[in-house]
Amino acid sequence: MEEKKDRRRALITKIVFIIAMLVLWEILAKAHIFGKRSELVFPPLEAIGAAFVKNFSTGFAGTSLWLYILNSMLLLLEGLVIGIVIAFIFSGLSMVSKTIDTIFNLCVSIFDLLPGVALLPVVIVIFGVKPGVIVFLVVHAVLWPMARNVLDGFKSVPEIYVESGRNLGMNSVQMLTGIYVPASATYIISGLKVGWARAWRGLLSAEMIFGIASMPGIGMYINQMRTNMKNAEMYATLIVIIIIGLVVQYGILEPIERATVKKWGLMK
Amino acid sequence: MSETVLEVRHLSKSFLNSGGKETNEVLNDLSLTVEKNEFLCILGPSGCGKTTMLRCVAGFETYEGEILTEHGVTHGPGTDRIMVFQDFNQLFPWKTVEKNIQYALKLQGIRDKAVLKKKSDEALHKVKLDGYQNYYPYQLSGGMKQRVAIAKAFALKPGIILMDEPFAALDAMTRNRLQRKLLELHSQEGCTILFITHNILEAIALGTRVIVLQNGGRIVVDERNPIPRPVTPDSPGYGAFWTKLHDALYVE
Ligand SMILES: Nc1ncnc2c1ncn2[C@@H]1O[C@H](COP(=O)(O)OP(=O)(O)OP(=O)(O)O)[C@@H](O)[C@H]1O
Ligand SMILES: [Mg+2]
């Protein structure tokens, strides 16, 4: 009962705060406090709203924002899948071989410290300005935090599950998929969260630094709006980015959490 | 007339001390033979090596000597020797109660869903947990989790069930109920049980045979339980047997 009340109060607080910020924005927009530049810094809400619709209907140079989003998402998905698969393969091998464990841990420690964007010059020399660059950056962003978490998760699996598994005659593949992965679900999910956040940021940065003509993405769209002084459209795109973040958080990550660790009582 | 299902031959086990150099000999040349359908209770002071012995039999440890079952010399764990741990958290928390049992059965090659369902339902019925099929382990009490673990062990129909103080952390009432349940299962299902306990009364109530270990895994008492089931404190011979075990246990 109390809990429900608290949650309602928090919700009301959030809504009131957001409305207040929007009103403030509109007042600043109408007051033209930046003179001529005001249109760029604080475009009025109705302009941003109209730009939001226009982004999707006409888009830029005849290409709807949908297509840019689709391109970004395809590259992101490809990179995430590759990164996660590699993380699992090497974490699994690390459980079997002490040598692989040492080397892989060293790699994780070193490469985790390198922001992907810093690698861009090298990567462009290798791949050229191709979609492969973005995929590479996404893999780099997700692989190391994911591997760190999977490794830690595997190592913290309670001995009693491993012994139960051995007692039931499970082979190493069955142990990996049937015990190590579910038993370290909490770690894996937190790796997913960190990996996703880094990949998403890395993708946007890379796309803003250089657009790939054959596969233009959201970051490039923002950049095009900026160079064309279409700031209302730019703000509208930022809102799209926030919405995508929310969709991933509440539409993918939280349902995964609810269907696994929360359901199993491993996490409240 | 009786048939040997487990033979421990000259079992010795040492652990490396934390320094890594010296070794700490926990079991020294322990030999033991267990007959089919025996309910062997193992008493002994804390630290005398009861758990270590059971873990060697289960195949979780390396050791010197030989351990034989009906299938010959054992190498590592096997489904002919199923362990019920003292720890309540031995069920897989990511599987429901019935899936925990069915998963174990599936690993034995049973594929038919209907058969699996029937077997897990029967197993749960035997420990009076009908209706809890779809609960996750975290939703059960400690006693209920132990019942599921026992139901799972019996469902696998192993030759030998190994139990390491499975009821030690339970309240007296629940423990009593589970003891009766276990006796019932033992007489119905026909299987061999090795059961570690600290509790003399528990050993007398459950065991068809009781052994007392002292340090180094030395067997100081090895007796057939003279008291017919069901054992009550009024059963003839109860006091004498209790005294014998008690004296052997608290000798030092
Ligand atoms: N993994 C291990 N590494 C090192 N020493 C161990 C290990 N496991 C057990 N020992 C040692 O072996 C001895 C016997 O332990 P064990 O757990 O078999 O005793 P126990 O008879 O089961 O005692 P309790 O009744 O308290 O459970 C103890 O001295 C303990 O310190
Ligand atoms: Mg013990």
State the Cα angle at B167 between B88 and B172, rounded to 5°.
120
Among the bound ligands, name the one nearest to the CA of residue B215. Answer: 1
A87, A150 contact by CB (below 8 A): yes
Residue matched to tokens 């861009």: A120
pLDDT at B164: 95
Within this chain, do residues B65 and B174 fall inside the same structural domain, yes or no? yes
Q: Which residues of chain A make contact with B54, given a CB cutoff of 8 A?
A: none
Instruction: Tell me the C-alpha distance between B86 and B149, whole Å.
Output: 10
Q: Mind telling me how many Å the CA of A231 is from chain B's nearest CA?
A: 50
Min mean pLDDT across A7-11, A157-161, A209-213, B32-36 is at: A209-213
Query: Pick from A174, A178, A265: which is nearest to B136 by CB?
Result: A265
Within this chain, do residues B118 and B237 fall inside the same structural domain, yes or no? no
Closest CA to B81 of B192, B182, B184, B164: B192
Instruction: Tell me the C-alpha distance between B82 and B88, whole Å.
Output: 16
Structural domain for B45, as ranges: 1-80+160-252
Within this chain, do residues B73 and B184 fall inside the same structural domain, yes or no? yes
Answer whether B79 sits within 8 Å of A168, measured CB to CB.
Answer: yes
DSSP states of A91-116: HHHHHH-HHHHHHHHHHHHHHTTS-H
Q: Is the CB–ligand 1 distance for residue B96 below 6 Å?
A: no
Q: Is the CB–ligand 1 distance for residue B50 below 6 Å?
A: yes
The ipTM value here is 0.92
Closest CA to A237 of A67, A65, A29: A65
Instruction: Tell me the C-alpha distance between B185 and B1, whole Å.
Output: 23
pLDDT at B252: 59
Among B157, B175, B191, where does a domain finish?
A: B157
Q: Is the peptide bond before A182 cis (omega within 30 degrees of 0)?
A: no
Locate A185 and state its tokens. 């679900």
Question: Per-residue pLDDT tens for A106-131?
Answer: 999 999 999 888 888 888 888 888 88
Within this chain, do residues B224 and B122 fall inside the same structural domain, yes or no? no
Q: How many other CB atoms are there within 10 angstroms of residue A233's CB atom?
A: 25
Show Cβ contacts of residue A165 under 8 Å, excluding neighbours closer than 6 positions. Answer: A174, A175, A178, A179
Q: What is the identity of the amino acid at A71? A: N
Within this chain, do residues B75 and B185 fall inside the same structural domain, yes or no? yes
Q: Enumerate long-range contacts of A87-92, CB under 8 Å, 24 or more apart.
A: A87/A142, A87/A143, A87/A146, A87/A147, A87/A150, A87/A191, A88/A150, A88/A181, A90/A147, A91/A147, A91/A150, A91/A151, A91/A154, A92/A154, A92/A176, A92/A180
CATH number of A73-262: 1.10.3720.10
Instruction: Tell me the C-alpha distance between A103 and A108, whole Å.
Output: 9
Instruction: Tell me the C-alpha distance between B140 and B158, whole Å.
Output: 25
Within this chain, do residues B246 and B167 fall inside the same structural domain, yes or no? yes
H helix and E strand count, chain B? 7, 10
Closest CA to A65 of A84, A81, A51: A51
Question: Per-residue pLDDT tens for A47-93?
Answer: 999 999 999 998 888 889 999 999 999 999 999 999 999 999 999 99
Closest CA to A136 of A148, A150, A121: A121
- Element housing A201 (H / E): helix A185-209
Locate B107 and state its tokens. 């690993």
Q: Is the CB–ligand 1 distance for residue B47 below 6 Å?
A: yes
A interface mutation test: which of B94, B101, B108, B145 has the most A CBs within 10 A? B94
How far, in Å, from the CA of B49 to the mean position of ligand 1? Answer: 6
Q: Is the CB–ligand 1 distance for residue B60 below 6 Å?
A: no
Q: What is the identity of the amino acid at A262? A: K
Within this chain, do residues B117 and B238 fall inside the same structural domain, yes or no? no
For residue B219, the cross-strand partners are B213
Instruction: Tell me the C-alpha distance between B39 and B209, whole Å.
Output: 6
Question: Per-residue pLDDT tens for A223-251?
Answer: 888 888 888 999 999 999 999 999 999 99
A184-212: average pLDDT: 91
How far, in Å, from the CA of B198 to the mean position of ligand 2? Answer: 9
The share of chain A scoring above pLDDT 90, in percent, equals: 68
Instruction: Tell me the C-alpha distance between A94 and A107, whole Å.
Output: 12
Interface residues from chain B to A (CB-CB < 8 Å): 58-60, 76-79, 81-83, 85, 87, 89-90, 92-94, 103-104, 107-108, 136-139, 156
DSSP states of B72-110: EE--S--TTEEEE-SSSTTS-TTS-HHHHHHHHHHHTT-
Among the bound ligands, name the one nearest to the CA of residue B164. Answer: 2
Closest CA to B129 of B102, B149, B107, B111: B149
Show Cβ contacts of residue A50 under 8 Å, excluding neighbours closer than 6 positions. Answer: A232
pLDDT at A38: 82
Question: For chain B, what is the domain count?
Answer: 2
**Model confidence band, residue A260 (pLDDT cutoffs 50, 70, 90):** very high
Instruction: Tell me the C-alpha distance between A226 and A207, whole Å.
Output: 14
Closest CA to A150 of A109, A196, A188, A200: A188
The tens place of each residue's pLDDT in chain B, 252 residues long, gives: 478 999 999 999 999 877 777 788 899 999 999 999 999 999 999 999 999 999 999 999 999 999 999 999 999 999 999 999 999 999 999 999 999 999 999 999 999 999 999 999 999 998 899 999 999 999 999 999 999 999 999 999 999 999 999 988 888 888 898 899 999 999 988 899 999 999 999 999 999 999 999 998 899 999 999 998 888 888 888 999 999 999 999 875
Among B130, B157, B184, where does a domain finish?
A: B157
pLDDT at A32: 86
Question: To the nearest whole number, what is the mean pLDDT of chain A?
Answer: 91
pLDDT at A61: 81
How far, in Å, from the CA of B63 to the mean position of ligand 1? Answer: 14
- Element housing A144 (H / E): helix A131-155
Identify residues whose C-beta is under 5 A from ligand 2, the ion.
B 51
Ligand 1 pocket: which of B11, B13, B15, B162 to mutate (most atoms within 8 A of CB): B15
**Per-domain boundaries in chain A:** 73-262
Instruction: Tell me the C-alpha distance between A220 and A257, whole Å.
Output: 32
Within this chain, do residues B190 and B122 fall inside the same structural domain, yes or no? no
Q: What is the identity of the amino acid at A191? A: G
Q: Is the peptide bond before B230 cis (omega within 30 degrees of 0)?
A: yes
pLDDT at B92: 97
CATH of the domain at B174: 3.40.50.300
Locate A254 and state its tokens. 């939280």
Which backbone phi and psi does B245 adopt, to 5 degrees? -65, -40
By C-alpha distance, the chain A residue nearest B86 is: A160
Q: Is the CB–ligand 1 distance for residue B49 below 6 Å?
A: yes
How far, in Å, from the CA of B167 to the mean position of ligand 2? Answer: 12
Which atom of ligand 1 is nearest to B52's Cα?
A: 18
- Collapsed DSSP state (helix, strand, coil) of residue B15: strand
Q: Is the CB–ligand 1 distance for residue B13 below 6 Å?
A: no
Q: What is the identity of the amino acid at A130? A: K
Among the bound ligands, name the one nearest to the CA of residue B14. Answer: 1
Instruction: Tell me the C-alpha distance between B12 and B23, whole Å.
Output: 12
Q: Is the CB–ligand 1 distance for residue B217 below 6 Å?
A: no
Q: Which residues of chain A make contact with B137, given a CB cutoff of 8 A?
A: 265
pLDDT at B78: 92
Within this chain, do residues B74 and B179 fall inside the same structural domain, yes or no? yes
Q: What is the identity of the amino acid at A186? A: T
- Collapsed DSSP state (helix, strand, coil) of residue B4: strand
> How, if at all, do strands B192-196 and B160-164 pair?
parallel
